[in-house]
Amino acid sequence: MSTDHLNIEFALHQIPERLLDESKNPKPHVHSIEKYNELYQESISNPKEFWGRCAKEFLHWHKPFETVLSGGFEHGDISWFQEGQLNASYNCVDRHAIKDPDKVAIIYEADEPGQDRKITYGQLYRDVCRFANVLKHHGLKKGDTVAIYMPMVPEAVIAFLACARLGAVHSVVFAGFSSEALRDRIKDADSKIVITADEGCRGGKIIHTKKIVDDALKECPNVKRVFVFRRTGSDVPFNPSRDLWWHEEIEKQRPYCPPEIVNAEDPLFILYTSGSTGKPKGVLHTVAGYLLGAAVTFKYVFDYHEGDVHGCMADIGWITGHTYIIYGPLINGATTVLFESTPIYPSPSRYWETVSKHKITQFYTAPTAIRLLRKYGREHVDGHDLSSLRLIGSVGEPIQPEAWEWYNEVVGRNECAIIDTYWQTETGSIIISPFPGAVMTKAGSATVPSFGIDLVILDPLTGQEIKETKAEGVLAIRQPWPSIARTVYNNHDLYLRTYLHRYKGYYFTGDGVGRDSDGYYWIRGRVDDVINVSGHRLSTAEIEAALIIHPSVAEAAVIGVHDDLTGQAVHAFTTLKPHCESTDLGELTLQVRKVIGSFATPKKIYVVKDLPKTRSGKIMRRVLRKVVDGETDQLGDLSTLSNPTLIGPLIEAVKNS
Ligand code: WTA
């Protein structure tokens, strides 16, 4: 790995004065670097004391816990707050509805401007109870899994919370996935109920949500009930023996449903994510630890104060939506924005119109959106009243210093805290990020660890910790934190192998990282076969598996290639079976869209005669990467390549594409 960047001096950005001006803003919870250091040190040296205190402060327990932490990385039997009992929906809704029923819980910013809607905690309580009763009436029990395949509407949040109310496990599938991908996830999690909508609306386009569900369910005989929320009211296929309308069912139920009290370590949800293998993994999070991680980071990293309006632009189908649209804000009794549209619909000012209309105080999006808006130009930002903003955040992929500076200057007007937050589906909540009132920033660095995150950099080859401050290696964590995923659904062995046993004694993130002389962390990106396209996590193996299903394809190798807009783009190399040379490449593209979804579409497909392989038959993706990057003079050691004569034609094929 290169260490050149370690010699570059990255300027420190001071904490914006506005943030420290108590006459204008609430005093940040973590208001100095000393305070951060004190809390961080305590969280690492005395995690039981630290998290035990937080668990009492942030969560309502129906039965108190006695043991803060037991188990660990060795056996993958991590357990937090073991004897404790609680209910997630009670914690997110009831206690706030009792205290302040008229407080706004959700601001729904619909796809078409002007159709926004506000839902108070009181209303949310009644809606969640009603829908929980519907699910209960149709036989849903504690521990059952429910698939949620929904657009960004408040009813999706209600569906999450209704499952949690009954102690059921939600498995949310991002609504951009294809019917085949949805089918595989329904089957893997053994979901018997699906919650969906007639159609979705995004960026002025209609998504045929129900039709996709119907296609998926052709091969899911175990799904007995489908609840359909009416989003557009269009005529959609409806199977009366299986399907039920949301609006008709809730009419039949009363708005009171007692919460099912569950154990701290009972599952709250499964969320599928991509890894090195072709098959997506069902990452499982448990109730108390996950909620606590979400709640604590929401309060301290986003510096949440009463009266704030939190605007996280992610989709609820990904972990960012789970943690920072739904659970983190609602546990804290905050007002959260649910944004159904895109950054450029109906114009590239949409985000800023939304910020000024709802007086958003914390705004959170992904680098891919920042790059896109930067390309459109600052004229779409200027002139909008962004004075409510105190903090702007970024998540999902490394943010380039240029994009960071633009975000800071144009959106933040140099007076907002800017937080680049690093985390993963598996970590449940943010693990590296500046604390807005305490940590000075550097453009492009996620900066410092969150509370309880005992970060280390390992030498990737020896697995030894690199103790020097300046370091380069792979990112790992030395002790468990509450919101770490507990298993991969139905595959604990894969969980152990992927995260805990790769480097014994540590949780392994799969990301490369650097640490500069100030101790700041710089995420370099994945060191495994995971690629990141517009913040969507994809595995090369998954895309290859999709391509190989096509009858003409003999072999496929997929790589991630740098892309100015999407971060990385998918490039696929294929060899075709004999007599298939005339295959239309459009068919191969469609194949990927069909098996995964349009967000995985290859930007380029190269048909080649042969793929570079080692003598033992492993595809040498490194060679493919170098050829696409035009670095054909740096192909490295080719002594293990089984057929060196293919290099010339390979370079030609890429050139001519
Ligand atoms: C990448 C998203 C650099 C990283 C919350 C990680 C980032 C993967 C950042 C997890 C960031 C996420 N800087 N890289 N601020 N945030 N990543 O599971 O490679 O969808 O391993 O979770 O995204 O993606 P996931």
CA of 603 to the centre of ligand 1 (A): 21
Percentage of the chain surpassing pLDDT 90?
91
pLDDT of 2 over the 50 cut? no
pLDDT of residue 429: 98
pLDDT of residue 135: 98
554-582 pLDDT, tens per residue? 999 999 999 999 999 999 999 999 999 89
136-142 mean pLDDT: 98
Structure-block tokens of residue 653: 């094929």
- Cβ-proximal residues to 412 (8 Å cutoff; 6+ apart), any chain: 16, 389, 392, 418
pLDDT of 398 over the 80 cut? yes
Strand partners, 605: 572
CA of 396 to the centre of ligand 1 (A): 4
Span of 256-270, 594-608, 621-635 with lowest mean pLDDT: 621-635
**Cβ–Cβ under 8 Å, residues 603 and 569:** yes
pLDDT of 503 over the 90 cut? yes
580-596 mean pLDDT: 94
Mean pLDDT estimate for the chain: 95
442-478 pLDDT, tens per residue? 999 999 999 999 999 999 999 999 999 999 999 999 9
Nearest atom in ligand 1 to 318's CA:
20
pLDDT of 3 over the 70 cut? no
Q: Best of 511, 539, 542 to mutate for ligand 1, by most ligand atoms within 8 A of CB?
A: 511
538 pLDDT band (50/70/90 cuts)? very high
pLDDT of residue 609: 92
Span of 3-17, 37-51, 345-359, 469-483 with lowest mean pLDDT: 3-17
pLDDT of residue 568: 95
Closest residue CA from atom 10 of ligand 1: 424
- In the three-class reduction of DSSP (H, G, I as helix; E, B as strand; rest coil), residue 624 is classed as helix
Nearest atom in ligand 1 to 433's CA:
15
What ipTM did this prediction achieve? 1.00
pLDDT of 4 over the 50 cut? no
Q: Tell me the CA end-to-end span of the chain in Å, nearest whole number.
A: 30
CA of 547 to the centre of ligand 1 (A): 26
Ligand 1 contacts (CB < 6 A) are 273, 318-320, 395-398, 420-425, 446, 509-511, 523, 525-526, 532, 537
pLDDT of 490 over the 80 cut? yes
Structure-block tokens of residue 347: 């114009």
**Cβ–Cβ under 8 Å, residues 540 and 560:** yes
pLDDT of 342 over the 50 cut? yes
pLDDT of residue 478: 98
pLDDT of residue 279: 84
230-245 mean pLDDT: 97
Q: Best of 315, 430, 432, 523 to mutate for ligand 1, by most ligand atoms within 8 A of CB?
A: 523
CA torsion angle for 640, 641, 642, 643 (degrees, to 10)?
-150
> What is the dihedral sign for C-alpha 213, 216, 218, 222?
negative
User: 612-616 — which CB contacts under 8 Å span 24+ positions?
Assistant: 612/641, 612/643, 612/646, 612/647, 612/650, 613/641, 613/642, 613/643, 614/640, 614/641, 614/642, 615/640, 615/642
